[in-house]
Amino acid sequence: MSAVARESVPALMRRLRRDPAAWTTTADIFVILIALSLPWSTSLVAIFAAALLVSMAPFLDVKVFLQTLKRPICALPIALFALAVVGTLWSDAPWGVRLYAIGPTVKLLMLPVLFYHFERSARGVQVFIAFLISCTLLLAFSWIVAFDPRLALKSDTSYGVPVKDYIHQSQEFTLCAVALAYPIVTLLRAKRILLAVLLIALSLSLVVNMMFVIVSRTALVTMPIMLAVFALLHLKRRNIVIIFCVATIFAGLAWVASPQLRETTASFLRDYQLYQSQNIPTSMGMRLEFWKKSLRFFKEAPLIGHGTGSIRGLFEEAATGSRVVATGIVVGNPHNQTLNVAIQWGAIGVVVLYAMWLLHLLLFRGEGLQAWIGLLVVVQNIFTSLFNSHIFDFTEGWIYVLGVGVAGGMVLKTNSRRAALATRDSAKP
């Protein structure tokens, strides 16, 4: 029996090497595993991403892949990574810090890989479903942990947060809740009421969890913007008015019923007042202090910045007073994506970042689920990056890479088919 097994493994590997479809399926599985593990683990995401690259190598058409890198949607993420590498040359930070600071940009190199793969794969929708399923499981676990915090997978986590932290969880729940709006409307128009009701229930469950368990202030700000984008793109004016009225009533009821929502909203003004009057390092106060200092750092080196990994050293030099006051806090992240890039690589880096966002937005101008998900991921990333460095953060950065990469590949595939059909039709006599 063992001899047969020893003989079958090499035979299986030889068959796989001769079968590109088998390797394509393997690569699809690894992307699905990335989507499943993203809400839960950082290590698994890195492992599955490495496995994806290995599984793509045997059937990769190098010439075609290199041609795809010339597309601006691929070239700009690579350019941001290249800036991080080159930026180490003029940084004053220790070399260990410089090299470590390159790390957050490495994930952007996966965007061209995912564009290439899902322009050829037929399993992009399964990736989105996998992420939704994983977030649904996280939702259930969040309610369990809210009632019994001892079941959390982290001992120092927030209330109702089983893994990672409440900012990541709110980002994932917000994305899923709003993304479901498109299939819900599509199903209602097709008279598939039961499935539409199930998705409505899931979407509302995600929102209710954020209202009554825990929600980040970033999610509170960005969720209405995301809903407004959907309404303007996909609903008629009369429906927009009706939904706005319903949403206003729901928000009012949530405000009355949810102490968590009232506390989170009230903290905006309270944090600002404590920072202004007493220099207390509240969440909002620290952000304002970080932004004020960051603008000063940018003015000192507006063109090419201070170099990769320079942020913490600059904040150390600018700190005044003890570290129990806002002006004395030292960080390596100004909690704003634009300022993060501007400090390190100046106006050149900001132009590259904004050009990448813009071209990725334009990629998703069409109709269809993939265009909606891709657009939503970019919009969410742009607005949440006003308060965090979400391209460089692990979870949010990977949400961007996975969402834009998979949806972008699907859109490119659809566009290629339409172009081929148009060419064929124009060639007919």
pLDDT of residue 90: 94
CA distance 91 to 306: 6
| Residue 115 neighbours by CB distance under 10 Å | 27
Same domain membership, residue 174 and residue 265:
yes
Same domain membership, residue 154 and residue 45:
no
pLDDT of residue 322: 55
| Residue 187 neighbours by CB distance under 10 Å | 18
Cβ 385 vs Cβ 338: under 8 Å: yes
Cβ 339 vs Cβ 292: under 8 Å: no
Q: Is 403 within a domain?
A: no
Same domain membership, residue 155 and residue 53:
no
Per-residue model confidence as pLDDT tens digits over 4-40: 445 455 665 566 566 677 778 889 999 999 999 999 9
Q: Is 168 within a domain?
A: yes
pLDDT of residue 117: 93
User: Does 195 have pLDDT greater than 70?
Assistant: yes
Same domain membership, residue 144 and residue 254:
yes
Q: Is 298 within a domain?
A: no
Determine the distance from the C-alpha atom of residue 324 to the mean position of all C-alpha atoms in its chain, rounded to a whole number.
32
CA distance 176 to 183: 11
Same domain membership, residue 53 and residue 149:
no
Considering 8-22, 54-68, 259-273, 311-325, the range whose residues carry the highest mean pLDDT is 54-68
User: Does 261 have pLDDT greater than 50?
Assistant: yes
158: domain range? 136-270
The domain boundary residue, chosen from 10, 30, 60: 60
CA distance 397 to 392: 6
List the structure tokens of 419: 């172009």
CA distance 293 to 361: 30
pLDDT of residue 367: 86
Cβ 111 vs Cβ 77: under 8 Å: yes
List the structure tokens of 362: 């334009």
Cβ 319 vs Cβ 326: under 8 Å: no
pTM of the model: 0.87
Same domain membership, residue 55 and residue 147:
no
User: Does 282 have pLDDT greater than 90?
Assistant: no
Q: Is 416 within a domain?
A: no
Q: Is 394 within a domain?
A: no
Q: Is 209 within a domain?
A: yes
Q: Is 266 within a domain?
A: yes
SS3 395: helix
Same domain membership, residue 265 and residue 159:
yes
pLDDT of residue 277: 58
Q: Which residue has the tokens 């001899």?
A: 3
Question: Looking at this protein, which amino acid is placed at residue 9?
Answer: V
Domain count, the chain: 2
Same domain membership, residue 253 and residue 162:
yes
| Residue 386 neighbours by CB distance under 10 Å | 17
Q: Is 261 within a domain?
A: yes
Q: Which long-range contacts (CB under 8 A, 24 or more apart) does 88-92 make?
A: 88/307, 88/308, 88/309, 89/307, 90/304, 90/306, 90/307, 91/306, 91/307, 91/308, 91/309, 91/310, 91/344, 92/306, 92/307, 92/310, 92/313
DSSP state of 323: T
Same domain membership, residue 152 and residue 29:
no
Same domain membership, residue 146 and residue 51:
no
What region, left, alpha or beta, does residue 428 occupy, with left being phi > 0 and alpha being psi -120 to 50 degrees?
A: beta
Residue 288 or 405, more confident: 405
The domain boundary residue, chosen from 227, 245, 270: 270
Same domain membership, residue 177 and residue 54:
no
User: Does 164 have pLDDT greater than 90?
Assistant: no
Task: Tell whether the torsion through CA atoms of 140, 145, 151 and 156 is positive or negative.
Answer: positive
Same domain membership, residue 266 and residue 143:
yes
Per-residue model confidence as pLDDT tens digits over 349-407: 999 999 999 999 999 988 889 999 999 999 999 999 988 888 999 999 999 999 999 99
Per-residue model confidence as pLDDT tens digits over 77-94: 999 999 999 999 999 999
SS3 80: helix
DSSP readout, 190-252?
TT-HHHHHHHHHHHHHHHHHHHHT---HHHHHHHHHHHHHHHHHHS-HHHHHHHHHHHHHHHH
Cβ 335 vs Cβ 216: under 8 Å: no
The domain boundary residue, chosen from 217, 240, 270: 270
b/e map 284-318, b = 16+ CB within 10 Å: bbbbbbbbebbeebbeebeebbbbbbbbebbbeeb
